[in-house]
Structure 1
Amino acid sequence: MLDRTIQWALTNRLVTLACATLLLAAGGYAAFTMPVDVFPDLTAPRVTVITESHGMAPEEVEKLVTYPIETAVNGAASVRRVRSSSAQGYSIVWVEFEWGTDIYQARQIVSEKLQLVGGGLPEGVDAPVMAPITSIMGEILLVGLTSEDHSMREVRTAADRVVRRRLLAVDGVAQVIPHGGEVKTYQVIVDQERTRALGISLSQVMEAAEGSNENAAGGVYQQDGREVLIRGVGRTNEIEEIGATGIFV
């Protein structure tokens, strides 16, 4: 076969030279227009699914949360590999697709599968969510906030409400995760002896605390061609108002 090819090339020299010239031109064009990257992204299209399960041990997370999600996404179209990691209170599932799969199409496929498995998860487990589109070649920047005039809680509040939102607005930033400091929270400490004496259960206290911090819509009042929005403002940030919440038995 090789001898015949050489003999044909020697017999048809003009055709051979023309083909060689075309190949040389195509190779030169490809070499000059080929994108060059110092750190090329060699990761296949991947979707990360994160599920938070409060208070569950790693064995329970693996059996009751991670396994159903893996089973649901395993049979999806163009899926080449599924990996997972289960820890205390967290489940992470990585779904890798075939090379060339559009990442947005891959996320749509995973989203449809998660809707099927969401109703079968145990009570108290948050709905599975997909992490932002990232790559293992992505860069991580650590930003530290310090202050001599503000408390750790005030610094953490500024990081959550100001710095994080502005960083997410920067083009190319996929995710911002604050760490450290003191997160501002309101805790309701129940006196068990008094609640037992009054015949009040813990669930009633929780319902009263949740209901005391909600706004209610009252519709629209119309008069003389004008509309006035009626609403009940129940949200509060004052500890005294939260403590004065009534419980109806």
Structure 2
Amino acid sequence: MVKLSFLKVLRERFNISRLAIKYSRVTISFWIAMVVAGLLAFSSLKYALFPDITFPVVVVNAQVPLETAVETEQKLTQPIEERLLPLAGLDQMVSSTYPGRTVVTLYFHVGTNLNSSSKEVEKTLWQIALPEGASFQVIPFNLNESSAVSYTIKSDTKDLKELAEIAKTSILPEIAQLPGVLKVNLLGGGETTFTALNSGSELTKQAPEIIKEEQPRDSPESPIPITPTRIRFNGQEALAFQVIKGGDANTLDV
């Protein structure tokens, strides 16, 4: 009986519910402090749908007016491979040859600077004596430079040409300058894709701020693949613009 009475007294003395009710102001203040601390911690969290993991991959897309894959391999693919194979930091090189076209993919060691690698690849390609009429594109591939969001543009009163002009002059240049945005592509209308670049991005240092057409191989500037597109929304022709985030940008922030 004495033992049971002692346990009962102990439970009553250290009853958390009773203490919380008795000192209600302290209890309320404690939970308010916990909520405020939780909100502050939540607001400081970093969201990343795509973590900053850069795989240094450079793709070379080359074309030449040849009829067979064998001839293309001998005159285009092999000379490119021989000159690119000794590049510093290169881990693997894979090529696919088609009649009149070859795609060479270069995988560099993790930690290799992607921009430096792509510039070195392009510099090396310009030193190769390729067949007459040959052209190439050097495309640095970064998984983090992905489409963050896309929007469709349509109107019941304006045609696609008028919408495209509004987008080029009023929409794309403004969005392209937002923090974290690498570039904005205007798609559709069956015309050459219009691209607006962020003035502070690395890509801007290699190309004009607004790119309207692909540069030929005779130009010393690096060509950027831009092709005509057509967009349909709910069965009707429309335009769309695609926002591409930078490699170090946060998808949710963009």
TM-score w.r.t. length of structure 2: 0.43
Greater strand proportion: 2
Which structure has more relative contact order (CA 8 Å, sep 6+)? It is: 2
Higher helix share: 1
